[in-house]
Chains A and B, each alone.
Chain A
């Protein structure tokens, strides 16, 4: 029974995706909506992403340094490990899970509130494709999400460098040497490919839960929680699949 419910929901999600891209809203109106979503979703997230990335980068460097107890292991591995963890996993995946909470709850609660207060019905009655009007600008705005992840990568490594150097764990030259060692440019491409897929999940799964919710204010809160759980689960699942496809093959 539960399986049937999940399959139904997945089917409904894909039907929603189809509807998002049909009956486009007038470009003059859509343009303003896209800029508003860029502000709400991307620019508004810059602060928290910068803060988390910088300090987690620092923690990764310290943890690596503290675990390198063997004197034969060179100190430049601190820079190497920090770069690898930040670029491959922390910035694209864990920032996305955090964004599933921040952006996801914002998207679900704003669309859910519009549902509860009949604003979505008002759009439909006017002849507006409400899914295109509400969700399409979010998808387009989140095409800039890799920009946010790029900043997270830079600040994470910077945080690692500062914690490593000013914490007395390594020298600046050793850290930079490690950060540049055995660099594989495809890892950046891999990270950004993941990021774009996660951006699509971040825009659409919370929208789905907000758009199809039923009830009142309490249900808006519940829908936000459910949206966070499913977005996180999807990100982790897709992370595994994409890693296997892009790096494991």
Chain B
């Protein structure tokens, strides 16, 4: 479980996060949604330790990140898996080398053991024939699968995904969403996804945090989002006619 308490962060005098508090639960897909500029990415990067908040606390299963020693912070980071928006695969490494990278860096496993685990996770994400290909030789959807495989290879406790299905066709996007959800349940990890994609919200949103202008404007489940009368959420989530109709149909039922 990740708990954030009264998180604040500014850039060049402009407050981006204005005292956000929330809880991201273990074994659930926790989504952060909101318009561009609402503070989603800053919040995610603060959770990852890339940005340092000015005030507030981030607790990883009771461990307050800002109170940890450098060694403890590094230790905690090995428990984190991250899927970047552009996949962020290492260009000079093959798919198998990319996936095995965290194991080579942080474990004492020998090559055979690393290969076994890499094969296992690549099979889990349905990529069995891509071991020796370079990231530039595979499609965007496959790159996302490799990024997911790399994020989970070291059996993380926390998985963060930044726009995991941006730039993907709708079918592949749904496959990636479902893969993340399945992995979250299978590994019993705390998954936090930063997304714009309303399909993802409807598909896998078990705990949704809606941000507006750096503030928490709403939090609930995908079922609750259909029923909410919070005008900001309604304006954002049901901005398209399709989703308006989906909502109407759901409410009629």
Which A residues lie at the B interface, using CB under 8 A?
23, 25-26, 28-29, 36, 113-114, 117-119, 121-122, 124-128
One of B76, B82, B86, B106 near A117 (C-beta < 8 A): B86
Minimum CB–CB distance for A40 against chain B, Å = 10
Minimum CB–CB distance for A134 against chain B, Å = 11
Counting residue pairs across A and B whose Cβ atoms lie within 8 Å, the total is: 54
Q: Which residues of B contact A113 (CB under 8 A)?
A: 91
| In contact, A121 and B77 (Cβ under 8 angstroms) | no
Give the residue among B74, B85, B90, B105 with the most A Cβ atoms within 10 A. B105
| In contact, B104 and A118 (Cβ under 8 angstroms) | no
Minimum CB–CB distance for A38 against chain B, Å = 15
If the complex has contacts A28-B104, A29-B104, A117-B86, are A125 and B91 also in contact, measured as CB distance less than 8 A?
Answer: no
Q: Which residues of B contact A23 (CB under 8 A)?
A: 74
| In contact, A127 and B84 (Cβ under 8 angstroms) | no
One of A25, A29, A118, A127 near B77 (C-beta < 8 A): A127
| In contact, B85 and A118 (Cβ under 8 angstroms) | yes
Q: Residue on B with the closest CB to A121?
A: B50
| In contact, B84 and A121 (Cβ under 8 angstroms) | yes
| In contact, B104 and A125 (Cβ under 8 angstroms) | no
Which B residues lie at the A interface, using CB under 8 A?
48-50, 73-78, 80, 82, 84-86, 88-92, 101-102, 104-106, 160
A114 to B78, CA, bound (A): 21
If the complex has contacts A117-B86, A125-B77, A125-B82, are A25 and B91 also in contact, measured as CB distance less than 8 A?
Answer: no
Q: Which residues of B contact A121 (CB under 8 A)?
A: 50, 84, 88
Q: Which residues of B contact A122 (CB under 8 A)?
A: 82, 84, 88, 90
Q: Residue on B with the closest CB to A126?
A: B102
Q: Residue on B with the closest CB to A120?
A: B88
If the complex has contacts A121-B50, A122-B82, are A128 and B88 also in contact, measured as CB distance less than 8 A?
Answer: no
A121 to B89, CA, bound (A): 11
Give the residue among A113, A114, A119, A124 with the most B Cβ atoms within 10 A. A119
Known pairs A113-B91, A118-B84, A119-B90; list 17 more (Cβ under 8 Å). Answer: A28-B104, A29-B104, A36-B92, A117-B88, A118-B85, A122-B90, A125-B48, A125-B80, A126-B80, A126-B82, A126-B102, A126-B105, A126-B106, A127-B73, A127-B75, A127-B78, A127-B80
Q: Which residues of B contact A28 (CB under 8 A)?
A: 104
Minimum CB–CB distance for A32 against chain B, Å = 9
Q: Which residues of B contact A25 (CB under 8 A)?
A: 105
A128 to B49, CA, bound (A): 13
One of A36, A117, A128 near B105 (C-beta < 8 A): A128
Q: Which residues of A contact B76 (CB under 8 A)?
A: 127
Q: Which residues of A contact B73 (CB under 8 A)?
A: 127
A125 to B46, CA, bound (A): 11
A118 to B74, CA, bound (A): 19
Can you list 7 A-B pairs with a CB-CB distance of less than 8 A? A29-B105, A118-B85, A118-B86, A125-B50, A127-B76, A127-B78, A127-B106
A113 to B86, CA, bound (A): 12
Give the residue among A25, A122, A128 with the most B Cβ atoms within 10 A. A122
Q: Which residues of A contact B82 (CB under 8 A)?
A: 122, 125-126
Minimum CB–CB distance for A99 against chain B, Å = 21
Minimum CB–CB distance for B62 against chain A, Å = 20
A119 to B90, CA, bound (A): 6
Q: Which residues of A contact B102 (CB under 8 A)?
A: 126
Give the residue among A113, A118, A126 with the most B Cβ atoms within 10 A. A126
A196 to B9, CA, bound (A): 44
Minimum CB–CB distance for A136 against chain B, Å = 14
If the complex has contacts A117-B88, A119-B90, A119-B91, are A124 and B50 also in contact, measured as CB distance less than 8 A?
Answer: yes
Q: Which residues of B contact A128 (CB under 8 A)?
A: 105
A20 to B5, CA, bound (A): 34
A80 to B78, CA, bound (A): 61
A224 to B76, CA, bound (A): 35
A113 to B91, CA, bound (A): 10
A206 to B82, CA, bound (A): 28
Q: Which residues of A contact B50 (CB under 8 A)?
A: 121, 124-125
